[in-house]
Chain A
Amino acid sequence: MSNTAKAKAIMVDHFHSGNYENMSTADLVSVRDELADLWIQIDQVDIRVGMSQQEVKDALSDPFIENDGTWMYPSTFDQYYYSIEFDSGLVKETDFVALKIF
């Protein structure tokens, strides 16, 4: 199974299903740490500048958070996200960001 497919399976099984809300802290930390490792391997290898939104969706599933042309996928407990910024529907840049919300 490719790293992208592993990340997609975690997103679908734990996050899009809402299962993460009922997981213990230890399990959630473990799943998000696994995602963090996967994003590093996927970044600029499977997710590249110029890809379309549909290609990203097919590879990684729907975004966990979507705002103003930026998609975010969880990694590490609570704070860090793999972020994909689009311009006119194509990947413009990727980053790891700490998200702080109020």
Chain B
Amino acid sequence: MAFTNETAFINGLKTTPDQTKAIEALFNDPDFLKIWNYLKNCQKVIELKSIPGYKIRGKERFGGYTAGRKGTFVVNPTKPEHRDNPMEMVDTIIHECIHAVLDVQKDCGDTNYPFSKEITEVYEDPNIKGTPTTSKKHVDPRDKDHMDKHYGDSASSPNDEYIDINDKAQQLIIKIIRRLMKQTKVGKKTLTFENEEKRNPPSKPGGCILVLATLVLLIGSVIYFAIQMV
């Protein structure tokens, strides 16, 4: 068993009725269970922690993962975004699981590995040319376009930091959250959706109407002038 205090950790995440619905649905989701069970069945110990007010470099964070001889998996249950939108907490849990899986793969190998090879994080991304960093101020100029295009803003410090998992990882989170929102009818889109929508802006429903109206006006004007000329 790789996890410490798994049951207490999961129960500790259910601080509101909506969070309870969301967390229970997450731990029954087939894609998420593949990820969780991969971690659970790995021999590397992962300490699960709930740290209210979790702060790093002066900013309150959604969560974190530290990879050392053991892994430490942290969720901040009192972050207001987690309480206001239970899907934001789901997002954080999957996000930290992605770091954990990428970390324990070295110990636990490819059997039942839950991800495609395209899912990666900034520190392991082979396309990063300079020193890998999430700091916008210190990013290597050769990597700026890649970070803007394939990463986007971090959730807890969007002006100063990039998010540390790539677009493919973010798309996995979005896929699971969309399914859970449909199932549970709780929560709303998370900050991860904003990066995806910047990369692939959704087509506006009003856009078609505008094009149609312009066409009708154009055809109407042509007919009007044709009649006038006759």
Contacts and interface: CB of A to CB of B under 8 A. Distances in A.
Contacts of B85: none
Contacts of B103: 98
A102 B66 contact: no
A25 B138 contact: yes
B4 to A, nearest CB: 13
A25 B118 CA distance: 28
Interface in B57-102: 57, 61-70, 72, 74, 92, 95-96, 99
Contacts of A65: 56-57
Given A68-B49, A78-B133, A78-B135, A97 B66 contact: yes
B114 interface: no
Contacts of A67: 51, 54-56, 74
Given A77-B131, A78-B135, A98 B57 contact: no
Residue of B49, B72, B132 with most partner-chain A CB within 10 A: B72
Interface in A26-53: 28-29
Contacts of B163: 102
A83 interface: yes
A68 B54 CA distance: 9
Nearest to B164: A100
A99 interface: yes
B139 to A, nearest CB: 8
B134 A78 contact: yes
A43 B123 CA distance: 25
Contacts, number: 77
A101 B140 contact: no
Secondary structure dominating the interface of A: strand
Contacts of A83: 66, 68
A41 B138 CA distance: 28
B164 A102 contact: yes
A81 B64 CA distance: 14
B121 interface: yes
17 contacts: A28-B138, A65-B56, A67-B51, A67-B54, A78-B131, A78-B132, A79-B132, A95-B69, A95-B70, A97-B72, A99-B65, A100-B65, A101-B57, A101-B63, A102-B63, A102-B64, A102-B154
Interface of A: 25, 28-29, 65, 67-68, 70, 77-79, 81, 83, 95-102
Lowest 8 A-B CB distances belong to which pairs?
Answer: A97-B68, A95-B68, A97-B66, A101-B64, A98-B67, A25-B138, A78-B133, A100-B99
Interface of B: 49, 51, 54-57, 61-70, 72, 74, 92, 95-96, 99, 103, 121, 123, 131-135, 138, 140, 154-156, 163-164
